[in-house]
């Protein structure tokens, strides 16, 4: 079931699915959903979180690279400079995210998230296409042939579309996080006593999402200055407590075998790697707040410190998305609940 779930998640997101979505695969999907309708919700949430992770990591990195090197203003800020572009833009033209609109129409319906996904899909696909065009343009050094004519046009198109799309992407991410909480709680309540590790993993995710929600509301875009240190510390302590409980349970090899989690100790455990990354990032945020409190009377506010704190918030928020996608790899509705 795990491989099927991974395939379905990929199919929702990648246009390349048109080459692997044979009737047999579709039948397997329908059979799995009919056997347990909750699988449909799990698949849909997983697909949305994969999209959210893609937006927060790869797309964000691409946009940061572009605006840092080509300017964030109305004018293309590369003319006359030494251009040494080596192909760092997003290169996903062959498998653009063309399944978003279909995903938004699928069942079960997810309040607000589906509407936002359908709204952002055209812009997101167009934006990705523009980055692909820019990638080819600068790799081939076509700017030397047309005196940056197409570069200027692409810059205006990218800038306009970025400004239109960025608020939608942020709203989509926040709405998805809000809807994940009740779904995870319902999932945890459905577990019996033979799923202690999964229950602990969900509790860790809920704690991580609570801190993530606070950071989104208070710190996103404003850096660490707007964060309520007391609230952050409370949620940080809860997260730390639940991570320790999860780690304690996963040291019990017999328990892992009983709960059909033998692979937990084999190779790189993506869930635990994401949990460790998230804990480290949360600790950095908490420590930055403590340092800010100590320095509050000095009047010092270094731009580098603000940038560092903003990066810490972004790193934590990405780690939470990784936690959820890894959780869905390890725990699914078919083979772990029987």
Which sequence spans correspond to the domains of the chain?
1-179, 191-338
Q: How far apart are CA 214 and CA 232, in angstroms?
A: 8
Task: Reply yes or no on whether the pLDDT at 280 is more than 90.
Answer: yes
Task: Reply yes or no on whether the pLDDT at 203 is more than 60.
Answer: yes
Write out pLDDT tens, residues 56-65.
Answer: 988 888 888 8
Q: What is the pLDDT of residue 11?
A: 41
Task: Reply yes or no on whether the pLDDT at 160 is more than 80.
Answer: yes
Distances (CA, A) of 46 to 144, 149, 169: 44, 42, 17
Q: How far apart are CA 68 and CA 218, in angstroms?
A: 25
- Residue showing tokens 């509301």: 217
Q: What is the pLDDT of residue 302?
A: 58
Q: Does domain 191-338 have CATH number 1.20.1420?
A: yes
Measured over the CA atoms of residue 161, residue 165, residue 167 and residue 170, the dihedral's sign is negative
Confidence (pTM) = 0.81
* Residue predicted with more confidence, 127 or 30: 127
Q: Which ranges constitute the DSSP H helices of the chain?
A: 2-13, 23-35, 38-54, 60-70, 100-105, 113-139, 143-146, 149-189, 196-218, 229-249, 253-258, 270-294, 303-330
Q: How confident is the model at residue 311 (pLDDT cuts 50, 70, 90)?
A: confident
pLDDT averaged over every residue in the chain: 80
């Amino acid at each position: 079931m795990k491989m099927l779930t991974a395939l379905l998640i990929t199919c929702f997101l990648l246009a390349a699915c048109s080459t692997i979505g044979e009737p047999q695969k579709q039948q397997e999907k329908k059979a799995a959903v009919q056997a347990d309708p909750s699988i449909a919700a799990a698949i849909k949430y997983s697909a949305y979180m994969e999209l959210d992770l893609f937006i927060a990591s790869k797309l964000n990195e691409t946009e940061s690279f572009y605006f840092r090197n080509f300017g964030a203003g109305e004018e293309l800020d590369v003319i006359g400079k030494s251009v040494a572009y080596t192909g760092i833009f997003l290169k996903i033209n062959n498998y653009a995210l063309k399944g978003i609109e279909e995903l938004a129409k699928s069942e079960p319906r997810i309040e607000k998230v589906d509407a936002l996904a359908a709204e952002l899909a055209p812009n997101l696909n167009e934006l990705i296409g523009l980055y692909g065009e820019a990638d080819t343009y600068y790799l081939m050094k076509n700017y030397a042939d047309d005196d940056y004519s197409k570069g200027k046009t692409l810059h205006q198109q990218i800038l306009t579309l970025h400004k239109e799309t960025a608020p939608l992407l942020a709203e989509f991410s926040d709405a998805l996080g809000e809807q994940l909480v009740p779904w995870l709680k319902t999932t945890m309540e459905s577990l019996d006593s033979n799923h202690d590790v999964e229950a602990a993993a969900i509790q860790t995710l809920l704690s991580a999402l609570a801190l993530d929600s606070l950071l989104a509301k208070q710190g996103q875009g404003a850096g660490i200055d707007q964060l309520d240190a007391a609230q952050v510390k409370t949620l940080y302590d809860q997260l730390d407590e639940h991570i320790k409980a999860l780690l304690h349970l996963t040291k019990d090899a017999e328990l892992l075998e009983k709960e059909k989690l033998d692979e937990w100790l084999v190779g790189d455990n993506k869930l635990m790697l994401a949990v460790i990354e998230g804990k480290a990032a949360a600790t950095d945020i908490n420590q930055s707040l403590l340092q800010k409190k100590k320095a509050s009377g000095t009047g010092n506010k270094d731009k580098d410190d603000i940038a560092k704190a903003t990066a810490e918030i972004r790193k934590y928020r990405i780690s939470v998305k990784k936690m959820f996608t890894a959780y869905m790899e390890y725990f699914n509705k078919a083979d772990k609940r029987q």
